[in-house]
Amino acid sequence: MNIQIFGRKKSSLTKKAERFFSERRIKFHSVDLDEKPMSRGELEKVITAVGDAQKLVDKESKLYKSKFAYLQFDVKEELLENQEMLKLPIVRNGNKAAAGDAPEVWKMWIEEEK
């Protein structure tokens, strides 16, 4: 498994994802989006893996509610420019990815590896 966790140090859901993999002794690489935002290429790979850019939008985020909730916008471009609107954590496993708290998906990946 090649696990990458994109999140923020202060995010409880990011910590939960890290704990999930740590408890199962699965190595992972954490990326703090406050220190190193996702590149266009990384974001596009994640969008391809989840199937739709809308699945990466955190509709509960302050930015989304205050600025984007009632507008039509280019989701890819706005997520690239405003990464505080990403649904975190984003966990990537090779060509697969999951956004948000998704332990059932992570468990499925582990089962597929066995």
pLDDT for 1 equals: 87
Q: Where are the domains of the chain?
A: 3-113
DSSP string, 45-68: HHHHHHS-GGGGB-TTSHHIIIII
In this predicted structure, the answer to whether residue 114 has a pLDDT above a threshold of 90 is no
In this predicted structure, the answer to whether residue 71 has a pLDDT above a threshold of 90 is no
Strand, helix or coil for residue 9: coil
Superfamily name and number for 3-113: Glutaredoxin (3.40.30.10)
Tokens of residue 99, six digits: 């956004």
pLDDT band at 72 (very low <50, low <70, confident <90, very high): confident
Contact by Cβ (8 Å): 98, 106? yes
**Helical (H) or strand (E) element with 81:** helix 75-81
